[in-house]
């Protein structure tokens, strides 16, 4: 272990004061170790989430939004590792010298705004998911027109477009400059410094501080609090009347409960970033340890959704074990539609019940009339040869096949602070 830092010539020298050593050690532990480890697990979890949520039996508007959230969280994790994780390893150990002085300065002007775009997309997709659940739970009659797969695509594209336009000036925030020449290694060293635009006090005060607080914290946090409070009240009311809820309503309530956990973790992991930005905007002060901790918390927030889905999403968990742990306790062969094999029973009006899922033949109670599962009819036990089916004199109840139910738009399903100042 070496307590080192770098001078302008790129040579290493020992940090003599204890405060400097503690700061470097704290940065190494939070960003160099924990952030990199959590980021690696988070990327794996997000990739698995995208695979499961993309399955045909998981197709729904809410799952498309969650896929978009997993994608932008993956981008945010990778950019956090590049901006904070790997540089923290060098400042404490002296490793990754080439990355710190050659690679990092040249990618930072592009990775930094990309990280802010991904953070903005993550915030507003979380808000969009909450809005979708608010409509589905509190206004179910409007869900058929507002919570559709096609509209979910439009919502994701709109969020990405807004996030990109809002963060477009960030591409001119920093620039690369020459730090010096290291004679011992015979190489030129580079560094990242604020651009002229970033040094403008009006730009910093209005765009970097005030607009950032409004669009990244005050506006989305207020909306999230209001909508989730309404969802929570509806969930509590529904749980009291759970015996009278339909199966679909119970699944909608369960999904809303799971997404409440997602939003709760979002608040916990972003509240420290809000505090840091308020301190900087109103008091012009930053606490380095708080900034490093908030960077870690935001990476954690982008990494834990997979755990929430597995914990609270029964269908997500079942598909996870079938796809990746086929010999586990939930293993086994999956049906073509990925559904369960429970029977759906419907009465034919004469007091007799027939199962349309588990039996191959269903008798409707009419003498000599049998409907086979492939839709062909037979009279007196003999199968007809593509003869048109006569209309039934009794009431006909259409019970949707598994594929129709699973492809429904409304089926229940599971599902940074501004980065370190450069």
**Helix, strand, or coil (residue 347):** strand
Residue 370 has pLDDT above 70, yes or no: no
As given in the structure block, the two tokens for residue 362 are: 């269903």
CA atoms within 13 A on the CB side of 381: 0
Quote the pLDDT of residue 349. Answer: 38
What confidence tens digit (pLDDT) does each residue in 182-216 have? 888 889 999 999 999 998 999 999 999 999 999 99
Quote the pLDDT of residue 139. Answer: 83
> What integer is the mean pLDDT of 155-165?
96
**pLDDT tier at 327, thresholds 50, 70, 90:** low
Asked if 395 and 43 touch (Cβ cutoff 8 Å), the reply is no
Residue 243 has pLDDT above 70, yes or no: no
> What integer is the mean pLDDT of 251-276?
86
Residue 269 has pLDDT above 80, yes or no: yes
pTM for the model stands at: 0.73
Quote the pLDDT of residue 65. Answer: 94
Residue 417 has pLDDT above 90, yes or no: no
Spatial CB neighbours of 227, under 8 Å, sequence gap ≥ 6: 130, 131, 133, 134
As given in the structure block, the two tokens for residue 35 are: 């952030």
5 or 244, which is more confident: 244
Helix axes 36-53, 61-80, angle to 10 degrees: 160
Residue 16 has pLDDT above 90, yes or no: no
CA distance 16 to 21: 8
Lowest mean pLDDT among 141-145, 245-249, 349-353: 349-353
131 or 377, which is more confident: 131
As given in the structure block, the two tokens for residue 165 are: 């336009």
**pLDDT tier at 257, thresholds 50, 70, 90:** confident
Residue 376 has pLDDT above 70, yes or no: no
Measuring CA to CA, which residue among 130, 163, 156 is closest to residue 68? Answer: 156
Q: Which ranges of 28-100 would DSSP assign to H, the alpha helix?
A: 36-53, 61-80, 86-93, 97-98
Quote the pLDDT of residue 382. Answer: 46
**pLDDT tier at 336, thresholds 50, 70, 90:** very low
389 or 196, which is more confident: 196
Its CATH class, for the domain covering 4-324, is: mainly alpha
Please state the domain extents for the chain: 4-324, 345-401
Please give the distance of CA 87 from its chain centroid, rounded to a whole number: 26
As given in the structure block, the two tokens for residue 232 are: 């929570």
68 or 343, which is more confident: 68
331 or 221, which is more confident: 221
Q: Which ranges of 167-304 would DSSP assign to H, the alpha helix?
A: 201-202, 212-213, 219-240, 247-283, 288-301
In degrees and rounded to multiples of 5, residue 213 shows phi and psi of -65, -40
CA distance 339 to 330: 13
> What integer is the mean pLDDT of 65-74?
96
Kind and range of the H or E element at 315? Answer: helix 314-324
**Which residues does residue 178 pair with via DSSP β-bridges, in sequence order?**
190
**Helix, strand, or coil (residue 65):** helix
Residue 394 has pLDDT above 60, yes or no: no
The CA R_g of the chain, rounded to the nearest whole Å, is 28
273 or 6, which is more confident: 273
Quote the pLDDT of residue 324. Answer: 85
Residue 407 has pLDDT above 50, yes or no: no
Rounded (5°) CA angle 308-251-335: 85
> What integer is the mean pLDDT of 348-359?
39
What's the full length of the chain, in residues? 422
Quote the pLDDT of residue 43. Answer: 97
**Helix, strand, or coil (residue 21):** helix
**Which residues does residue 177 pair with via DSSP β-bridges, in sequence order?**
191
Quote the pLDDT of residue 248. Answer: 61
Quote the pLDDT of residue 245. Answer: 61
**Which residues does residue 4 pair with via DSSP β-bridges, in sequence order?**
14
Tokens 């969280």 -> residue = 73
């Amino acid at each position: 272990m070496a307590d080192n830092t770098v001078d302008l010539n790129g040579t290493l020298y020992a940090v003599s004061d204890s405060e400097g050593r503690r700061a470097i050690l704290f940065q190494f532990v939070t960003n160099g170790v924990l952030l990199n480890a959590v980021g690696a697990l988070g990327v794996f979890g997000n990739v698995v989430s995208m695979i499961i949520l993309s399955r045909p039996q998981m197709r729904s508007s809410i799952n498309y939004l969650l896929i978009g959230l997993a994608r932008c969280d993956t981008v945010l994790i990778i950019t956090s590792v590049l901006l904070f994780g790997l540089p923290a390893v060098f400042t404490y150990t002296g490793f990754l010298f080439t990355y710190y002085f050659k690679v990092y300065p040249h990618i930072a002007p592009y990775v930094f705004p990309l990280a802010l775009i991904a953070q903005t997309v993550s915030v507003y997709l979380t808000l969009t998911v909450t809005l979708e659940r608010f409509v589905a739970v509190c206004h179910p009659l409007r869900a058929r027109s507002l919570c559709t797969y096609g509209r979910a695509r439009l919502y994701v594209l709109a969020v990405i477009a807004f996030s990109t336009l809002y963060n477009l000036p960030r591409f001119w925030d920093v620039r690369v400059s020459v730090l010096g020449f290291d004679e011992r290694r015979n190489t030129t060293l580079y560094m990242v410094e604020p651009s002229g635009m970033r040094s403008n006090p009006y730009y910093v005060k209005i765009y970097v501080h005030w607009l950032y607080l409004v669009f990244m914290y005050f506006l989305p946090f207020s909306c999230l609090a209001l909508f989730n409070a309404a969802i929570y009240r509806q969930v509590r009311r529904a749980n009291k009347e759970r015996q009278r809820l339909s199966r679909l309503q119970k699944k909608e309530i369960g999904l809303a409960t799971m997404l409440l956990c997602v939003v709760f973790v979002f608040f916990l992991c972003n509240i420290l970033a809000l505090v840091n930005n308020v301190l900087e905007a109103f008091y012009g002060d930053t606490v380095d340890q708080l900034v490093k901790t908030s960077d870690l918390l935001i990476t954690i927030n982008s990494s834990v959704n997979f755990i929430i889905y597995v914990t609270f999403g029964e269908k997500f968990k079942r598909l996870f074990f079938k796809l990746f742990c086929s010999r586990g306790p939930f293993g086994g062969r999956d049906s073509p539609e990925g559904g369960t094999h429970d029977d759906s029973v419907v009465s034919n009006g004469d007091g007799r019940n027939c199962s349309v899922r588990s039996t191959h033949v269903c008798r409707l109670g009419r003498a000599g009339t049998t409907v086979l599962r492939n839709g062909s009819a037979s009279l007196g036990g003999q199968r007809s040869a593509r003869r048109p089916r006569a209309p039934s004199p009794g009431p006909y109840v259409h019970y949707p096949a598994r594929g129709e139910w699973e492809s429904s738009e409304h089926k229940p399903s599971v599902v940074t602070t501004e980065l370190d100042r450069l």
